[in-house]
Amino acid sequence: MEKEIIYELKSLYRDHLRITGYHFGGNQKTVAIAGAFRGNEIQQLYICSQIVKALKKLERDGRVSSEKGILILPSANHYGMNIGKRFWAVDNTDINRMFPGYDLGETTQRIADGIFRAVKDYEYGIHFTSFYIPGNYVPHVRMMKTGFEDVELAKKFGLPYVMIRDITPFDTTTLNYNWQIWETKAFSLYTKETDRIDLVSANQAIEAVLRFLHDRGCIDYPTYGGFLSRKVTEDMIEIVKTDNAGLFRCLVDIETNVKAGEILAEIVDPYEGHVISRVLAPCDGMVFFHHDEPLVYQNTIAFQMIRMEASYV
């Protein structure tokens, strides 16, 4: 293993921000893995740390390719993480909305530029990221429809679902999109938690990455288990929003099959304790995502469901 600082941002009043890369294997730029770009992505940081730990052991056992290279960047926003802030502490900007970056731009643009210079030439890119709304997802691989997406390759992770989504202008400054534009086959991996560690889904994601690395010839680590991944597209997803603000009492977990009209959550009056409204399932289906914060605003996405009648590929 080679440990190096791939980008350093000097600071007048505190320790410099140093983005550390861990390199395994040979000189071929095969797989780059990125972790926490936001200060609350504790689960993503944990997963990357455990992948580093696993690869160190495989390297000691002589089971890492001497030709194909793996680069891991566990964290890029330690400043935000140290003070419990999701975005860049000074100006509240999101590093994952600044790609491909600009070395003479604002601070987060410079950070994004430093990261992208290190990872843009890799054949495959994996990013552990989080949704912009607080909540839990069924573990899955997500790709944008750029024309460079590869569903069959995404299934090699062995996660339950592969989601393909259309590009919006909002997406064009993300790492995943820019990776694909620079012809890297890019995958975003989502797990159950963000600001807390969920060991079950974290271990599932770690095994998924090791499974993929083995399939690409980077490591000798035959894995067992995994899922026959199902392809999901946006037109198969039913969005369920709240009609009131209040305390959010979720009654179902992800991966729960529900019937149309079933109560998914209750919105409780924060002062008087009675139920203001109930969030109902609009169709038969499976809970793919649910909001998990104790408070909720009106018209917030509370659930995403895969409709039961949706066909899978």
Phi, psi of 285 (to 5 degrees): 175, -170
Please give the full DSSP string across 35-82, using - where no structure is assigned.
EE-STT-HHHHHHHHHHHHHHHHHHHTT-B-SSEEEEEEEES-HHHHH
What percentage of the chain exceeds 90 in pLDDT? 88
Q: In sequence order, what E strands does 49-184 have? A: 68-75, 124-128, 135-137, 140-144, 161-165
Report the SS3 class of residue 97. Answer: helix
Which tokens belong to 227?
């899922």
Which tokens belong to 145?
């429809």
User: pLDDT at position 310, please?
Assistant: 56
User: pLDDT at position 277, please?
Assistant: 97
User: pLDDT at position 153, please?
Assistant: 96
pLDDT digits (tens, 9 = 90+) for 158-211: 999 999 999 988 899 999 999 999 999 999 999 999 999 999 999 999 999 999
* Cα torsion angle, 139, 144, 34, 173, sign: negative
Q: Report the distance separating Cα 176 and Cα 143, nearest Å.
A: 8
pLDDT digits (tens, 9 = 90+) for 221-269: 988 888 999 999 999 999 999 999 999 999 999 999 999 999 999 999 9
Helix (H) or strand (E) holding 4: strand 2-9
Confidence of residue 12 (pLDDT cuts 50, 70, 90): low
Q: Hey, where are the domains in the chain?
A: 2-228, 236-311
- Homologous superfamily, domain 2-228: Zn peptidases (3.40.630.10)
In the CATH scheme, what architecture does the domain 236-311 have?
Beta Barrel (2.40)
Select the highest-mean-pLDDT range: 11-15, 76-80, 96-100.
Answer: 96-100
The per-residue pLDDT of the chain, averaged, comes to 94
Confidence of residue 311 (pLDDT cuts 50, 70, 90): very low
pLDDT digits (tens, 9 = 90+) for 108-139: 999 999 999 999 999 999 999 998 888 999 99
* Cα torsion angle, 225, 37, 175, 163, sign: positive
